[in-house]
Structure 1
Amino acid sequence: MTRLAPSVLLLLALGACASVPMAGPQANQEGKRFDPPATGSGAVYVYRPGWMALARTADVGVAGGYHAELAPDTYFRLEGPPGPIDLVCKADNTAEQQIDVRSGEIRYVEVVMNAGLWGAQCSLREVAPNEGQSAVLRSKRVTPH
């Protein structure tokens, strides 16, 4: 019986993995090219690194608009007019961050998930382009809902 315990725990852990709507392979590869935004626009990549320990999804979006669920190792790209963008993430808490995007610019924001005293806690932090691109290349693109 004790031999089965690790196997049962592994199956339970895998069953708890988060599931989110994924973009197709072509959209995923397009996002990983890091193409400049359209003329007169800016872009923001929002990604969530991680692994199975915090498999719960984080609901991330723009105040009053686009939102998607991010599981570990997923990302999305937003593109739109320059100016401030109010990002919000929700888990067992809510965190906000404003990013000011200029025309032609690409910014990168990491969703950080931590196990808190009252459950999964999310926060947002802007990162350098090389760090953001490296994380996106290891991730898969999600679709909004």
Structure 2
Amino acid sequence: MTIKHLTPEDLTVDMENQMVKLFKQLNPDLKLNPLVKIMEKEDQLSLVYCQEGDQIIGMASMVTYSVLSGSKGLVEDVVVDTAYRGQGLGRQLMEKLLQIAQEKGLTEVLLFTGNHRQSAIRLYTKLGFEKSQSGMYRIRFNQS
């Protein structure tokens, strides 16, 4: 098994199809944006994945942005195939994203997870993440 940082040049239709299928394990109701389109914005998205042979068995992404308070990363869509969970792949994916964050000179990495995802919360805590006391609010727009 290898952990890799996806580049636009490496992306194939087969890889994208596998990632869409894997993502459905995380949230079957969400529609994914095409990876080719997302990765057009240079250096905004870091997507790492775990591959065994030709099969993608895990992935995680981090979007980066700069605001007045610093350069930040927001971790999204961390998922490991159900058949491979419990083997430390989520940790390896997150460690790779944190390495990328340090290389980019980010001042902070954020992530949000549901309270019901206890194994994910334990992982994030072991990696050094701390629960913030700030509340997050959101508004959703109907995208047709």
- TM-score band (shorter)? under 0.3
Structure number with the bigger relative contact order (C-alpha 8 A, sep ≥ 6) is 1
Greater strand share, structure number: 1
| Structure whose alpha-carbon radius of gyration is higher | 1
